Amino acid sequence: MPYTAPYPEPYDQLLGNLPLVLMEHDAPEYFGILLQGGFDMPVPEPCTLREFLCELVGVCGVYTEKSLQTIFLDGKAIDDLDRALLGPSSRLALSAAMPGLVGATMRRGGYYSRMREGISQAKGDGLEASEKKPFRLHVRLYNAVGRELAGLFLHHGIFVSSESLLRFLKIQPPKFFDHLQKASLAGAPLPIGSSAAGTWQLPGGDIALRVTSERKE
């Protein structure tokens, strides 16, 4: 099911004070392949998975329960969003329902979930109480979830390497750039044509990327 709620205000305006690439793009679902490859997000302090998704990002209610059918945290399948704890070094993967028996086995709360007992997060697993310090959460968004939530996650802003962003831009079809209205680095305009975007002069290492869309702003 599509995510239809208005986007909340970005919860972290500074994005770690990293160099910011700001893009205005009318079809953020095109960024799905970038988000599947993995990115980081700032989290102000350790929290439950539900607190991160609902209170920070804005993924709540029916979408959380119906569309986020497969969740892995640090390699373990997650059934209970309120027991799954996020902290430094956490790695999160979100997916819609996957096909076949494997998909049915990994599905949250599904009939076959008992078959994955060894790779499920047990009650009581997770982080011990830790200092309330900001950290970076590594995230991957797969299949329909990546397409449907791309705009929301990019609206808040993510951390990626400049190399990953340039590599992504170089393989995009002309249609991607038809939807790209403007782009800037630290406030300075960047060229937006299909032949120029892959040659952007970006600083090495990690950058912050925020994508706005008139659909939801």
pLDDT computed for residue 101 by the predictor = 38
Is 8 inside any structural domain? Answer: no
**How would residue 130 be classed by pLDDT, with cut points 50, 70 and 90?**
low
Is 147 inside any structural domain? Answer: yes
Distances (CA, A) of 185 to 75, 168, 201: 35, 17, 9
- 3-class secondary structure, 86: strand
Contact present, 76 and 53 (Cβ < 8 Å): no
> Token digits for 67?
């569309």
State yes or no: pLDDT of 56 exceeds 80.
Answer: yes
Is 5 inside any structural domain? Answer: no
- 3-class secondary structure, 3: coil
State yes or no: pLDDT of 1 exceeds 80.
Answer: no
Is 217 inside any structural domain? Answer: no
Which residues contact residue 26 at a Cβ distance below 8 angstroms, ignoring those fewer than 6 apart? Answer: 179, 181, 213, 214, 215
Is 91 inside any structural domain? Answer: yes
State mean pLDDT over 147-169.
Answer: 97
Is 141 inside any structural domain? Answer: yes
> Token digits for 159?
């951390």
pLDDT computed for residue 144 by the predictor = 94
Please give the residue range of the domain that contains residue 82: 13-212
Percent of the chain predicted with pLDDT > 70:
83
State yes or no: pLDDT of 31 exceeds 90.
Answer: yes
State mean pLDDT over 119-140.
Answer: 70
Is 2 inside any structural domain? Answer: no
> Token digits for 119?
């790779």
Q: Give the separation between CA 177 and CA 194, rounded to whole angstroms.
A: 6
Query: Which of 120 and 28 is assigned the larger pLDDT?
Result: 28
Q: Give the separation between CA 179 and CA 101, rounded to whole angstroms.
A: 38
Is 178 inside any structural domain? Answer: yes
Count how many domains the chain has: 1
State yes or no: pLDDT of 124 exceeds 50.
Answer: no
